[in-house]
Amino acid sequence: MSNTPLLTVENLCTTFTRGGVQLPAVRGVSFSLEKGRVLGLVGESGSGKSVTLRSILGLARQYGDVTGSVRWQGQELTTMSEVNIRHIRGREIAMIFQEPMTSLNPLLTVGQQIFETLKAHTDLGKAVRRDRAVEMLDLVGIPSARSRLSDYPHQFSGGMRQRVMIAIALAANPKLLLADEPTTALDVTIQAQILDLILNLADQMSMGVVLVTHDLGVVAQTCEDVAVMYAGRIVEQGAVRDVLRTPCHPYTTGLMRSVPQDVPPRTQLYSIPGTPPSLEMIPKGCAFAERCDARRAECNQSRPALQEMSEGRRAACFHPAPVPTQNREAS
């Protein structure tokens, strides 16, 4: 496998403006992804995960200011025109959005929605597009695929709608898949099926995958690398096995402690104290300092840089302290 990254993100920043106030949703995010690898972006709601994906695809710049660099196979996406980026969006880089019931058009059949993607991003004729749509629905495990092309989204269950979303995203054989919490609101059994499906298809199609989730169990089971986000920044990054076994940043440690394992009945579960800062009040120092038991004076005064801890391992903390865990998913 080539070590040349499919995608390289450097110092990505996305800022929205509301009432004259600047809201920094993504602050200096950097990572790279190689062909065939799965990167997990994990963190609490509001940490900037979804905005990062939308910024990569050029969807966030319609509403905010996006700076930094997003290089896709040698092409710079942040400065690319909307006309040109449309040839990449959907064709080379595809995205699965969070909620299929709001992402799918309720007025169009699922067949029409797959046809739209194929018409926009391939040179297939009408008859071949229909065959391709049937092939994709069959590939994602929808029974009687040909007859279901004429069904509307409301005629599918939640898990089946998510499969339709995956079929649409993969119809044009993209090289990179951005999956924004693709298993949200699904029960555990369907969640496992959807994740297995994405991984199997990624392996078959040699795709890179960026998987956004707030579930560390999902990260442990599906990803090879992980980036932990907090208040718009990556605060810890590395191989999944290393980060989950010995988290260095106090926030990552808190997330690990929040996963209940072998907890006796009627025992109070752990939760990280406090709440993430609002975008209007990001502190000048470490954004996690107010919630951190290990904070010191310098944590409130300046922002720690994302530093190299060891080969392939980085953390943004003035006093990183690897904490061994007994997380079963990481073993």
Q: For residue 97, is it within any domain?
A: no
Q: What is this structure's pTM?
A: 0.89
**122 pLDDT above the threshold of 80:** yes
Instruction: Catalogue the long-range contacts made by 63-67 (C-beta closer than 8 Å, 24 or more residues apart).
Output: 63/16, 64/14, 64/15, 64/16, 64/17, 64/25, 65/13, 65/14, 65/15, 65/16, 65/17, 66/12, 66/13, 66/14, 67/11, 67/12, 67/13
Q: For residue 146, is it within any domain?
A: yes
Q: For residue 215, is it within any domain?
A: yes
Are residues 308 and 163 both part of a single domain?
Answer: no
Are residues 260 and 279 both part of a single domain?
Answer: yes
Task: Please give the Cα distance from 140 to 145 (Å, whole number).
Answer: 10
SS (H, E, C) the chain: CCCCEEEEEEEEEEEEEECCEEEEEEEEEEEEEECCCEEEEECCCCCCHHHHHHHHCCCHHHCCEEEEEEEECCEECCCCCHHHHHHHECCCEEEECCCHHHHCCCCCCHHHHHHHHHHHHCCCCHHHHHHHHHHHHHHCCCCCHHHHCCCCHHHCCHHHHHHHHHHHHHCCCCCEEEEECCCCCCCHHHHHHHHHHHHHHHHHHCCEEEEEECCHHHHHHHCCEEEEEECCEEEEEEEHHHHHHCCCCHHHHHHHHCCCCCCCCCCCCCCCCCCCCCHHHCCCCCCCHHHCCCCCHHHHHCCCCCEEEECCEEECCCCCCCCCCCCHHHC
Are residues 154 and 178 both part of a single domain?
Answer: no
User: Looking at residue 294, what is its pLDDT?
Assistant: 87
Q: What is the average pLDDT score of the chain?
A: 90
C-beta separation of 263 from 276 below 8 A: no
Which CATH number fits the domain that encloses residue 206?
Answer: 3.40.50.300
User: Looking at residue 331, what is its pLDDT?
Assistant: 40
For residue 75, which of 91, 60, 64 has the smallest C-alpha distance?
91
> 10 Å Cβ neighbour count for 56?
24
Cα Rg of the chain (Å, integer): 21
Are residues 224 and 295 both part of a single domain?
Answer: yes
The lowest-confidence range among 3-7, 69-73, 136-140, 323-327 is 323-327
- The letter for the amino acid at 199 is L
* Percentage with pLDDT > 70 across the chain: 97
Are residues 270 and 300 both part of a single domain?
Answer: yes
**71 pLDDT above the threshold of 90:** yes
Q: For residue 101, is it within any domain?
A: no
| Domain hosting residue 40, numbered range | 1-92+174-331
Are residues 86 and 146 both part of a single domain?
Answer: no
Q: For residue 99, is it within any domain?
A: no
Q: For residue 137, is it within any domain?
A: yes
Are residues 189 and 53 both part of a single domain?
Answer: yes
Which one of 173, 206, 227 terminates a domain? 173
Which one of 123, 143, 173 terminates a domain? 173
C-beta separation of 174 from 210 below 8 A: no
Q: For residue 310, is it within any domain?
A: yes
Are residues 60 and 77 both part of a single domain?
Answer: yes
C-beta separation of 98 from 181 below 8 A: yes
Task: Please give the Cα distance from 211 to 43 (Å, whole number).
Answer: 12
**pLDDT (mean) for 204-230:** 92
Are residues 113 and 204 both part of a single domain?
Answer: no
Are residues 322 and 246 both part of a single domain?
Answer: yes
Are residues 113 and 215 both part of a single domain?
Answer: no
**pLDDT (mean) for 152-178:** 91
Mention every residue, 6+ apart, whose C-beta is less than 8 A from residue 21. 280
Which one of 122, 148, 173 terminates a domain? 173
Give the dihedral of Cα atoms 53, 58, 64, 69; nearest 10 deg: 80
Higher pLDDT, 329 or 294: 294
The lowest-confidence range among 51-65, 148-162, 166-180, 314-328 is 314-328
Q: For residue 229, is it within any domain?
A: yes
Q: What is the domain count for the chain?
A: 2
Are residues 195 and 324 both part of a single domain?
Answer: yes
**168 pLDDT above the threshold of 60:** yes
